[in-house]
Amino acid sequence: MALKIVYSVGKGGVGKSTCAGALALQSARRAATLVVSLDPAHNLGDVLDCALSGQATEVADNLSAIEVDMDAAIARYLADSTRKLQDMYGYLKTINIDGYLEAMKLSPGIEEYATLQVMEELISGAADRFQVLVFDTPPTGLTLRVLALPRVSLLWGERLAGLRRDILDRRQIIRNIQGERRYVIDGTEQALACEEKNDGVMKELNDYISRMRRLTQMQSDAAISRIMLVMNPDRLSLYETKRALTTLTSLGLAIGPVIVNKVGLKPGDEQTVLDIGRELGLPIKTIPFLPIEPIGVAALGSVADMMDFQEWIPG
Amino acid sequence: MENILALLLFSSFLGLPSPPSDLSLRLMPHMVREMHVMSRRASDLDDVSGEVAGMFID
């Protein structure tokens, strides 16, 4: 059975982690499930009332949970990405590679790519052991940027690959006239690549394109991925959900019913829920405001019993 | 100098957008020759663009 992936998405404090935990518990009754918090300010462990770490911890029958240390993940991503650079450029006295790497650490997009890499590793690692993977995501803005990355990066990869092919074609023409061209850097002589199979840039671009295409297909396949949008019955939550919905729809992601959590805390919440349903144009499911916080596996199980969370499982 | 500043600030409007940082990092190890040539040319320019490019050059 192929891995199914659910992303719990919503504004901070609306109950993403509670819903992710409840969905994961219900899913675990039928299939091996892993729930992962990618939020830098984790509270999945608080919700499950368990101490979690970067390694899968079994929190209930058929259910494991992880809290990813995002700072460590970013540091690891940078270390992985820059190791090759230091190997290749470390000996080149003309280039201050340390200065470049310091600048890269603060470059826009690095956090998003590190998050994407973590998600990719988790998806790949979970495929053997689990049937359902639930992501408790970071705040909406970062999540949307991460989910948009595969598409944007695929476009870049394809365009750059086209440009590189043109360069290789021209190199071949010159080679046919002048013979093989060689170059020397710091005393080392190498042949100039003229064909795709010998060109490191092209190989890297092709790997990158395949990776981004796979992620894009996985995201837009309704049988594999689904978004569980969580919100509260208030205007600010609605505005953010509407913006998120626009972006998620443009990315081709399947969006399940919207969960409106903590209904009944204020007078008029029921009417607000009806208004939300009309404005979003999606089916709405509600979770009432609970006087006692649903903390721990048993309490979350009760939340799961209140609704059919299976609706959010893709496929 | 005004042109250089404008180019640095608005080059994306002229069709020179920056690719994702992740992609640049991945391709850089395979482009030692290009970086070497670029750095040599930048240091030879003896003008503002050379200085700007020199941010990453000793």
Q: What is the enclosing helix (H) or strand (E) of A263? A: strand A258-263
| Shortest CA gap A40–chain B (Å) | 21
Per-residue pLDDT band for B56 (boundaries 50, 70, 90) equals low
Q: Tell me the backbone φ, ψ of residue A291, rounded to 5 degrees.
A: -60, -30
Domain residues of chain B, as ranges?
19-58
| Shortest CA gap A148–chain B (Å) | 12
pLDDT recorded at residue B58: 45
CA–CA distance, A248 with A260 (Å, rounded to integer):
18
Q: Inform me whether the C-beta atom of residue B54 falls under 8 Å from chain A C-beta atoms.
A: no
User: What residue of B is the nearest CA neighbor of A112?
Assistant: B22
Pairing of strands A132-136, A182-185: unpaired
How many A×B Cβ pairs under 8 Å? 83
User: What residue of B is the nearest CA neighbor of A186?
Assistant: B36
Q: Inform me whether the C-beta atom of residue B16 falls under 8 Å from chain A C-beta atoms.
A: no
**Set of chain B residues whose Cβ sits within 8 Å of the Cβ of A103:** 56
Tens digits of residue pLDDT in A277-288: 999 999 999 999
pLDDT recorded at residue A123: 96
- Does the structure show a pLDDT above 60 at B57? no
Per-residue pLDDT band for A120 (boundaries 50, 70, 90) equals very high
Q: Per the CB < 8 Å rule, is B26 touching A108?
A: no
Please, what are the domains in chain A? 4-148+221-312 (3.40.50.300)
Q: Tell me the backbone φ, ψ of residue A284, rounded to 5 degrees.
A: -115, 140
The average confidence (pLDDT) of chain A is 91
